[in-house]
Amino acid sequence: MKTGIIGGAGYTAGELLRLLVNHPHVDIAFVHSNSQAGKPVHHVHQDLAGDIALAFTNQLFLDEVDLIFLCMGHGQSQLFLEKNAPLPPQLKVIDLSHDFRLKRPDHSFVYGLPELNKSSIQGSQYIANPGCFATAIQLALLPLAAQQVLNNEVHVHAITGSTGAGQAPSATTHFSWRNNNVSVYKAFTHQHLGEIGQSIQQLQTGFERAINFIPVRGNFSRGIMASVYTECAWTAKEATQYYQDYYQAHPFVLVSDANPDLKQVVNTNKALLYVEKHDNKLLIISMIDNLLKGASGQAVQNMNLIFGWDETTALKLKSIGF
């Protein structure tokens, strides 16, 4: 299968390349970047030296590939598709931006959270890859919604690494500010709340309770830890069993019997979940790598489902451990 990457110079594209160079069914046909055109790919993604011989191109070869990954900034994917319409009829698209995650009558993208929409993803042509915070939080809540017991406000405190802000430097990503520092941003207003609510309502129609989300910038590079709690009548034992049952057919989500730490998932496509009961509140800890299960790893997982390959192909990765 031949694939191309649009917006190839950023973090998510770099992670995609690291996965795809080792994928047994994929040939990377081109890596598009206007800003880096003509440069060898490994001059930007330097850890790929010896793994990829391609140079960035500002040309598009959409008729020559089976699938493209859109790794551009939010708002750019929709402009790209409009500019290049109509797309070749055989071309499949996985978009890693926010542009098509919310259902609208003007597009046919399937929301690409395999733990929610696996059957819809299989064989689909257009996939909207979920957001990183949205993935971690939804995985913490889906079993509750599936059992129709998500009937109270949800409280979320989640911290993410600096790579979640993308490659372009900013006042809140450069080392001297980020190191030894934490800060809250977009409290109660984060853009991922829309897709989280949409997914919950897909399982529990009529859910209208508030999701109180406090995002935090962490002083580390990779990973998301979300602590989520809500009132629930389940015991801890019952909750653990419901979570294990829900994720039994989903190879990347593991329900842990011990409180996890972030290094267990960094550099993997895994999500680790852990539940505790405190009085009438159920606490769910959810951990992912924001660049893998929260972005590029999930995109490859979706590609595997689209083409009927084993879901875990090229995604059996080792955590950093220490």
- At residue 189, the 3 state secondary structure works out as coil
Q: In angstroms, rounded to a whole number, what is the distance separating the alpha carbons of residues 30 and 71?
A: 13
The residue from 132, 156, 203, 211 that is catalytic is 132
Q: Which two tokens stand for residue 250?
A: 């989903």
Question: Please, which contacts does 76-84 make with residues 24 or more away whose CB atoms are closer than 8 Å?
Answer: 76/7, 80/6, 84/60
Active site residue 232: no
Query: Apex CA 92: angle with CA 50 and CA 122, to 5°?
Result: 100
310, 311, 270, 314: which is closest to 293 by C-alpha?
A: 270
Give the SS3 label for residue 192: coil
Query: In angstroms, rounded to a whole number, what is the distance separating the alpha carbons of residues 95 and 111?
Result: 10
Distances from the Cα of 280 to the Cαs of 155, 229, 257, 272, 318, in angstroms? 14, 10, 20, 23, 37
Q: How far apart are CA 233 and CA 222, in angstroms?
A: 34
Which amino acids are annotated catalytic?
A: 132
